[in-house]
Amino acid sequence: MNSSKMRRKVVPAAAENGESADKLDQLLLSSAICNGEDLGPFVRKAFASGKPETLLHHLRHFARSKESEIEEVCRAHYEDFITAVDDLRSLLSDVDSLKSSLSNSNSQLQSVAVPLLTSLDSFVEARNKCKNISLAIESLRTCVQLVELCSRANSHLSKNNFYMALKCVDSIEREFLDQTPSSTLRRMLEKQIPSIRSHIERRVNKDFGDWLVEIRVVSRNLGQLAIGQASAARQREEELRIKQRQAEEQSRLSLRDCVYALEEEEDDDGLDGLSDESRDGYNNGGTGMLGFDLTPLYRAYHIHQTLGFEDRFKQYYFENRKLQLTSDFQVSSMTPFLESHQTFFAQIAGFFIVEDRVLRTGGGLISKVEVENLWDTAVSKMCSVLEDQFSRMQTANHLLLIKDYVSLLGVTLRRYGYPIDALLDVLSKHRDKYHELLLSDCRKQISEALAADKLEQMYMKKEYEYSMNVLSFQLQISNIVPAFPYVAPFSSMVPDCCRIVRSFIEDSVSFMSYGGQLDFYNMVKKYLDRLLTEALDGALLKLIDTSITGATQAMQMAANMAVFERACDFFFRHAAQLSGIPLRMVERGRRQFPLTKASDKAEEMLSGLLKQKVDGFLMLIENVNWMADDPPQGGNEYANEVIIFLETLVSTAQQILPVPVLKRVMQDVLAHISEMVVGALLGESVKRFNINAIMGLDVDIRLLESFAENQAPLLSDADANQLKAGLAESRQLVNLLLSNHPENFLNPVIRERSYNALDYRKVVAISEKMRDQSDRLFGSFGTRGAKQNTKKKSLDQLIKRLKDVN
């Protein structure tokens, strides 16, 4: 139709030159209306200029211009309408003729079909009666089957066989509910079927609730049993290690080739049965030996699956178990954690052993992700509890007890695939605190052991005492068991401190063991070094400084330090053995004696006290006649007294002091004697002396040297020579003063060979005391005349040149 043509977009004609502004506004307004544009700008402009009448005039003009178009459209539609009316009139006549034809045909059909309809009605009535009879028979058959199913369902319900009862109910609902002919019976079934299902659900939920209550007790017992079995397995491993260490030690010490075979017992672990027995299904979901039955859980899960509530039951089970786990995390503030920690960790261990079984045999009741989330929550809480409890503990033994149980918990749950690194990290984090507390306890014990010691040799009456105090720490010098009673060369502090250190090593290794770190010997060795160098060495130094008052006590302390040196070797070997390190590796890297300060202090104290004793005898040197007419034949009095004291000292000291210690002490004492003899010549009390006095000193020194040489059977020839070397200064000074050529002292070669222990300043001072003597001084050399004058000149020349050097 013409009216359906698309509108053309009206474009305003270009305004001619001289056209008025009013005409232009009219054209712009017409163009905007035709194009469907917004008329707002025109309205605002009209009111802004104060001429709204002009806008209304333009709008009316536009409306009049469109009326002609509207009339053309109406005219075109009117012609079409006239044409349609003509078509309808022609059709009406055809319809009338068709109506007449149909009426005639209907009359003929009615007259023919009436007899047939009468016969059909009779047939239908007979057929309906037959169908009703068949339907009645079928209904009775259906009712009989329905009653049988109902009876079977009741029987299953009475026997608590809920699954079979549900199967019967499902069969009734699926096969008979819609086919039941009796509406009364159908209503009864529609009412009772949900009731039966609700009853079954309530009964199953009740059994499941009882199981939830029971499983908490079972979990605690199960956790305790599992951790106990892990502890027993660990004990067996320790026993095997002890046997292995004993075999290695015997093999190392024996000269014969020996073969050792360690028989390893089979690990008949009850928990292995726990992980195998329940794989047959939920009919017996647990192990009778452990009282671990999952049958109520799996029955409830199966029933809910049958009811179509599988997801709801899974969520219900997970939430309840999560609440139980949260309840297990509660630590009682009324009971010390040391007393409740085993129950706390056993409950959690049993919980996750149960969940591991449910995960593996529950048919999707709980997912691996859910178990992992529960475990992450449990690990986080256990770490938090351990951090809090460890921070409060101030006793090393308490930390060790809890650490051991936590490590057993980790070993137990690691068998089920649970990661325990976070727990091990907490234990490692508190390693330093544990050892600080352990060091503090050992310091107290060491102080008490040292305070109780009277610094007297131990007296052992029985062999077990010898084994307990000597052999157990490998302090024996010989493998031959001595006769009893036996007097040990050490006092009671040695075995007492050895027991403390050994206990420290065992506790340290126990804490470091089973902590996720395989090679922990270096850590144990570090803490052992601290114990020995800080605690034991410091306590010994304090004892030496404050309690040693006599040479006997000092000698006993020095003997103890020598025994401690052997004990320290045992300590590091013992630590290595407990840490699983081969002894050859420890023996290959020998360490410095960690008690060096105390050992040096003990020897220094012994030497000092012996020097004080010697000084008492050396005071007799004042009785020496420095201007004697003849040299003393048997030596001076002080020398004889010193020799008697030294011989007595050696006979006593060799019973307890090791040879190296005795040699060092005696050498120090002899060096002190030599120094005191030289000091006497330098002292102001000796204004001058003659050659006879020097010859007397020569006899004294020969006596002392003879004493040193006599120690060769006890020490060795080399050690005896070293003892003599302690007298080097006095010997070289006497040799110089008795020499016919004292000027040789100025020869560097000769001085290095024969006078290397002399200080030239002392030589000058002592030589001057002989310089002003009469010729008789030099007559005692047994030569006369020129020789005496030559020696006197040589000595004067020596003094002069030494002064020039000075």
pLDDT of residue 260: 41
pLDDT beyond 60 at 606: yes
Query: 503-562 pLDDT, tens per residue?
Result: 998 888 888 876 555 677 888 888 888 888 888 888 888 888 888 888 888 888 888 888
pTM here is 0.66
Residue 16: pLDDT over 70: no
Dump pLDDT digits (tens) for 227-247. 888 888 888 877 887 777 667
Q: What pLDDT does 719 receive?
A: 73
Tell me what pLDDT residue 483 has: 81
List, for residues 451-508, the tens digit of each pLDDT value.
Answer: 888 888 888 888 888 888 888 888 887 777 778 888 888 888 889 999 999 999 888 8
Mark residue 289 as left, alpha or beta (left: phi above 0; alpha: psi -120 to 50; beta: remaining): alpha
- Left if phi > 0, otherwise alpha if psi is -120 to 50, otherwise beta: which for 363? left
Cα–Cα distances in Å, from 442 out to 496, 500, 504? 11, 7, 7
- Lowest average pLDDT, out of 3-17, 58-72, 441-455, goes to 3-17
Q: Which residues, 6+ apart, have CB-to-CB distance to 173 below 8 Å?
A: 189, 193
**CA-angle at 560, arms to 555 and 561, nearest 5°:** 100
Q: For residue 746, what pLDDT band results from cuts at 50, 70 and 90?
A: confident
Q: Is the pLDDT of residue 256 over 60?
A: no
- Cα(763)–Cα(749) distance, rounded to whole angstroms? 17
Rounded distance between C-alpha atoms, residue 551 and residue 388, angstroms? 53
Average pLDDT over residues 46-50: 80
| Predicted local distance difference test score (pLDDT) of residue 516 | 54
Assess whether pLDDT exceeds 70 at residue 801.
no
Average pLDDT value for residue range 199-226? 84
pLDDT tens figures, 265-298: 444 444 444 443 333 334 444 444 455 688 888 8
In the predicted structure, residue 744 carries a pLDDT above the cut 50: yes
Could you count the other beta carbons within 10 Å of the beta carbon of residue 39? 13
Provide the pLDDT for residue 7: 41
Q: What pLDDT, on the 0 to 100 scale, is given for residue 15?
A: 40
What integer best gives the mean pLDDT of the chain? 77
Q: What is the distance between the alpha carbons of residues 325 and 352, in angstroms, rounded to a whole number?
A: 9
pLDDT of residue 19: 52
DSSP-H helix ranges across 742-785: 748-754, 760-771, 775-779
Q: Who contacts 678 (Cβ-Cβ below 8 Å, separation ≥6)?
A: 729, 730, 733, 762, 766
User: Are the C-beta atoms of 607 and 559 separated by less than 8 Å?
Assistant: no
The reported pLDDT for the residue numbered 586 is 64
pLDDT at 781 over 50: no
Q: What is the CA radius of gyration of the chain?
A: 60
d(CA 448, CA 452): 6
- Tell me the per-residue pLDDT of 706-727, one tens digit each, with 9 for 90 and over: 888 887 777 777 777 777 778 8
pLDDT per residue over 571-604, tens digit each? 888 888 888 777 766 665 556 788 888 888 888 8
> Does 172 have pLDDT greater than 80?
no
- Collapsed DSSP state (helix, strand, coil) of residue 598: helix
pLDDT tens figures, 111-163: 888 888 888 888 888 889 888 888 878 777 777 777 777 777 777 776 767 67
Portion of the chain with pLDDT greater than 90, in percent:
2
Which residue from 592, 369, 564, 593 is spatially nearest to 474, judged by alpha carbons? 564
Checking if the pLDDT of 806 tops 70, the result is no
Q: What is the pLDDT of residues 660-672, one digit of tens each?
A: 888 888 888 888 8
